Amino acid sequence: MALAPDRVIRGLLLDRDDTLVVDVPYNADPHLVVPVPGARRAVERARAAGLRLGVVTNQSVIAKGMATREQVDATNARVDELVGPFDVWCVCPHDAGDACACRKPRPGMVLDAAERLGIPPESIVVVGDIGADVQAARNAGAQGILVPTPRTRTEEVDAAETVAADLDEAVALVLEHVGSAADRA
């Protein structure tokens, strides 16, 4: 499976937990941040290719009252330090039942990131480990790549248009579409 061949990619948005860093449920402790293998190298490759980079992450730990926004921001700063830096961070602080516009699979964070990066959503790829990540991309007019983990449900893998074995492979797929259409002709 591959990305749409007619699109030029200018931006890459990544999910945080289980995509960039090892998932620690409801993590709001910077000391517990551990990058997934190869994350820093994959992000460096994307940056070197001229992509604008961002993170879009659901953090219901805030809505649940288990952490403050400041604690989540400190954890995100640690991710930035170990894997980034990223041009933009978009965080949904809401819980699943809050009916916000930003919580993935809704498109709010992807659209916000696109606006803040100054590029149209159709020039963005979102990489994540669950169906909500790729559905948020689709709902925003972007493309999605699913990088399954042992927790990813089979039906999410089956529904994904593009699946990669790991973050490095996902970035390689994206890099095939960087630059102008004339560059690839």
How many other C-beta atoms are found inside a 10 Å radius of the C-beta of residue 95?
Answer: 16
**The two structure tokens encoding residue 83:** 């894997």
Residue 96 · residue 67 · CB < 8 Å: no
17 counts as catalytic: yes
Q: Which of 6, 15, 133, 168 is catalytic?
A: 15
Query: Active site residue: 6, 17, 73, 158, which one?
Result: 17
Instruction: Assess whether 6 carries a catalytic annotation.
Output: no
For the whole model, what pTM was predicted?
A: 0.94
| pLDDT tens across the length of the chain (185 residues) | 578 877 889 999 999 999 999 999 999 999 999 999 999 999 999 999 999 999 999 999 999 999 999 999 999 999 999 999 999 999 999 998 899 999 999 999 999 999 999 999 999 999 999 999 999 999 999 999 999 999 999 999 999 999 999 999 999 999 998 864 444 33
